[in-house]
Structure 1
Amino acid sequence: MADVLYFEFGEMRIFSNFVLVIMKEGITVKPEYNDDLLEVSEKYFRDRPFGYITFRKNSYAVNPMVYFKTSEIKNLVAFAVVSTDGLKIANLELEKRFLKKPFKHFKNLDEAKMWVNEMIDNTPG
């Protein structure tokens, strides 16, 4: 792990192939938060593929419009959600419709990391 970055919405842990994001309790994820993700992608993953893992251990809302901007990040090749909460899992089907990237749900972090790394390994370069 290279860095841990703190933002208004939560924390982002930077790994060699992906970011792991833990959102703050009670927030609403807004499209403008993508500006921070874009900056991170340019600083840490310039010209190479990376993945995004959100570890949904806190309760928060997601404005699905956020995914339109997330979809524009060219080198983002995988989006994983880790959650065991049934309601959060049900919301994923709606969220998945807005993101134009591979999007997958996992019940544990290790499986999400493996999938993201596989997606990166299989990205033509």
Structure 2
Amino acid sequence: MFPIHYYDLDFTQVFVFDTFIISQIREGFVLQPQHNEQLRDIIRKHFATKRLVYIANRIHAYNVSPMTYMETSKIENLVGMCIVTTKGASQETAHFESTFYKKKFHITHSLLDAMVWSEAVVDAAGVTDI
């Protein structure tokens, strides 16, 4: 499975697949709600009529404002979020962050598991066209 599109933004690398997006936020970055606008632009461009899942591949240390999750929850066709991390502290942080996200949320140590989970969540959401 190869990405359909790739974006190298100032704060993240984004890999767009058929039913999910993988984002790799840059080291030391503080993700704020206003960064959602670039995510929304990518979703509008590639998922205008389809459901998707957002996968955060946490290969770098960075911070996320909890308000970012509340805003991300408002993206209608985004049906879930998955955090991929192998670090215990990052897993604990992800558990805390999950309380601010109002849709399906999964934490795993494997990018492959995240992809499989994402496909299942999109399938469970029903018809992919919205």
SS in 2 for 1:47: coil
The partner residue of 1:72 within 71, 74, 77 is 74
Alignment partners' CA distance in 1, 2:117 and 2:5: 22
Task: Give the alignment's Cα RMSD to 1 decimal.
Answer: 0.8
TM-score, scaled relative to structure 1 = 0.97
TM-score, scaled relative to structure 2 = 0.93
Match runs of 1:57-68 below 5 Å:
57-68=59-70
Percentage of identical aligned residues: 29
Task: Give CA-to-partner distance per residue, 1:50-100, whole Å, 9 cap, x none.
Answer: 110010010111111101110000000110000010110111121001111
Following TM superposition, by how much is the alpha carbon of 1:7 offset from its aligned partner in structure 2, in angstroms? 1.2
Alignment partners' CA distance in 2, 1:51 and 1:93: 18
Alignment partners' CA distance in 1, 2:57 and 2:50: 23
Structure 2 counterpart of 1:35, one-letter code: E
Match runs of 1:26-41 below 5 Å:
26-41=28-43
Q: Does 1:22 align with 2:24?
A: yes
Alignment partners' CA distance in 2, 1:93 and 1:18: 21
Match runs of 1:1-125 below 5 Å:
1-125=3-127
Across the two proteins, how many residue pairs are aligned to each other? Answer: 125
Alignment partners' CA distance in 2, 1:114 and 1:90: 22
Structure 1 runs not aligned, ≥5 long: none
Q: Which runs of 4+ in 1 moved over 2 A?
A: none
Alignment partners' CA distance in 1, 2:72 and 2:110: 23
Task: Give CA-to-partner distance per residue, 1:4-57, whole Å, 9 cap, x none.
Answer: 101121110011111000010010011111001111111101121011001001
